Amino acid sequence: MSGALLILYLARVSEAIESLEVRLRLLLERALSRAGRCIFLTGAGISAESGIPTFRGSEGYWRVGSRNYHPQELATRAAFDRMPDAVWSWYLHRRRICAEAQPNRGHVAVTDAATQLGERFLLITQNVDGLHGRAGALAERMYEIHGNISFMRCSVRCEGLLPVPAAAWADPSQPPSTGELRALLRCSTCGALMRPHVLWFDEHYDEESYRFESSLRAAADAALLVVVGTAGTTNLPLRIGELAARSGTPLVIIDPEPSPFSALAAGGQGIFLQGLAGFWLPELARQLRALTRQV
């Protein structure tokens, strides 16, 4: 490409971004004039920018004996009942990856938006990595609808969550023996093996562990829905998007690729910002900051 053509191309890209920024501002103005909460729905795409492999990517495979298992085979209650040590080893490996990752610009921008919106803010995240919390998101304004890999609960339903002991995952060069690991992961109430506090593929959403009904109620009355980095392949996130769209809620969809959510936005009450969360979320937070100061 010649220098002149490159300059023309960059000018057109800049004009397109400016046009989207204007449309975003108008949409946010409309949203802030409505009653209800401003919901941010986030998925694996926002954490991919922190180096965490997406769950369905090739990086998720795990070898047990002579066989490679896909995450969708390991992340089930059936697999846990059949080979609990292997399933726990995989989750402890993923826990180390999450611990080594750092919140990125997208996570920080979501926290910035929460500061501007105050009690009107609600974060609904599919991510189990805990990066939103480490970026400053408040637990009382966050629904972790797929759980959190840093916690565990009894596999036979004793109540309560406990942190996964650091001794179980922190030092891969000196992992505990199977006996030591099982001792660390025993329920102190009934003696059963604990399980990761995550939603498995052969399980259903519920209110107690995954805020199912609360999420749907919030979506039905939302003033704004911002969807970031999720393909809409699981039931609850897609229902949240459909409920919000049906109610005429302004939608902001941020993703590198089109999705069922971008199709909802194309229905007339939303905008699809095609690109990375780390680019668009800081811009959205900046505009929210300017608009809330005007109120």
Percent of the chain with pLDDT over 70: 88
Number of neighbouring beta carbons within 10 Å of residue 202: 12
Least confident of 109-113, 146-150, 212-216, 264-268: 264-268
Paired tokens of 278 = 């780390």
Q: pTM of the full predicted structure?
A: 0.91
pLDDT level of residue 167 (50, 70, 90 thresholds):
very high
**Candidates 70, 93, 107, 146; catalytic one:** 146
Known catalytic residue: 146?
yes
Report whether 125 contacts 142 (CB < 8 A): yes
Distance CA 33, CA 27 (A): 10
Going from the N-terminus, what domains does the chain have, and what CATH number goes with each? 25-294 (3.40.50.1220)
Average pLDDT over residues 280-292: 96
Determine phi and psi for 110, rounding to 5 degrees.
Answer: -65, -40
Output DSSP code: residue 87: H
